[in-house]
Amino acid sequence: MLAFPGLQKKSKLPPCADRGDRIMTTTPSAAPSFWQVEVTLPRSALPALEAALEPVSVAVSWVEADEARDLWTLQALCAERPDNAVLLPAVALAAATAGIEEPEPVIVRIEARDWLAQSAIAFPPLRVGRVYIHGSHHEEAPPVGSWPLRLDAATAFGSGDHESTKGCLQAFNALARRGRKRNVLDVGCGSGILGLAAARGWAVPVLGVDIDPESVRVARYNTRRNGLRAFLRVEPGVGVGGRLVQARAPYDLIFANILARPLCALAAPLARLLEPGGHVVLAGLLTRQAAQVLSAYRRQGLHLEQRLVLGAWTTLVLTRRGERP
């Protein structure tokens, strides 16, 4: 989670740009400056504003501003000063969703600082089922029986703290209790966290792909430092039609933690890659988008097996019925 003074609630980054808990790793001398947008709204309006600001922000956090009136301040961190042509319609949409007058956004410049040192303090170990995620600054031994992953603050999404990633990890743990998968694909792998979890837990072939070159670089680095290069391969890709993705199909587990619209567009290609009896875990979608995504995959013959709702985010676990070949 991206840590700033006073922020306590939630971090979110654009999926597959990617999806949720991105932290900038820089030295003090190279630390970038940012623009911060603050908007105070009722909690019910936050998901709409967050989704609208995703394309122009590198992180979004919520902090409670007034408990009695259920008001929250959304803080979006942007690499450049946001254009009013994008910002103001987003605020107007969120206000309309909540049925309130349009609030005035506050824009301030955040000067350079040592983000890595600050984020390390706020990145304690996280355990989701048997998956134990910790930074290199954490020196205690992992819990007995856990599947430890060392992930530091990085420029690619995926520390496990965001609800979309956490939902995928919960789904992974549930599937792991039922047996080992044999061939795994992670679409929009970000930091590589989901592929790393599968490789650590099952020691089986895993392929991770991402359209973001920085995510590919970070995921490969995390694969090396966790000693999992024998199992996890990370490659750049513009979709799931690439030669390597096709050559390694069919898969009995596919992770796709991206956004609702691309998830819908990928329904048919992902269904073709999934073997009978296999599972696909879909995340990065707001709960209000779940029905649309679920409908797209049901049309491909997949069946809902589990729905995980964490905060405003939903993770769907679907399966292709039938026996393994």
- Concatenating the DSSP letter of every residue in 159-226 gives SS-SHHHHHHHHHHHHHHTT---S-EEEES-TTSHHHHHHHHHH---EEEEES-HHHHHHHHHHHHHT
DSSP code, position 30: G
257 labeled binding residue: yes
CA distance 107 to 35: 7
For the purposes of burial, counting CB atoms within 10 Å of the CB of 217, is it exposed (0-12), middle (13-18) or buried (19 or more)? middle
212 labeled binding residue: no
Residue 65 burial (CB count, 10 A)? 14
CA distance 188 to 263: 11
155 labeled binding residue: no
188 labeled binding residue: yes
Contact by Cβ (8 Å): 63, 8: yes
Cα(first)–Cα(last) distance of the chain, in Å?
41
Closest to 133 in 3D by CA, of 212, 183, 200: 200
Q: Which residue has the tokens 């999806």?
A: 19
Report how far apart, in Å, the C-alpha atoms of 129 and of each of 126, 138, 148, 176 are: 10, 19, 11, 10
CA distance 78 to 60: 9
Residue ranges at the known binding site for S-adenosyl-L-methionine: 165, 188, 210, 257
Residue ranges at the known binding site: 165, 188, 210, 257
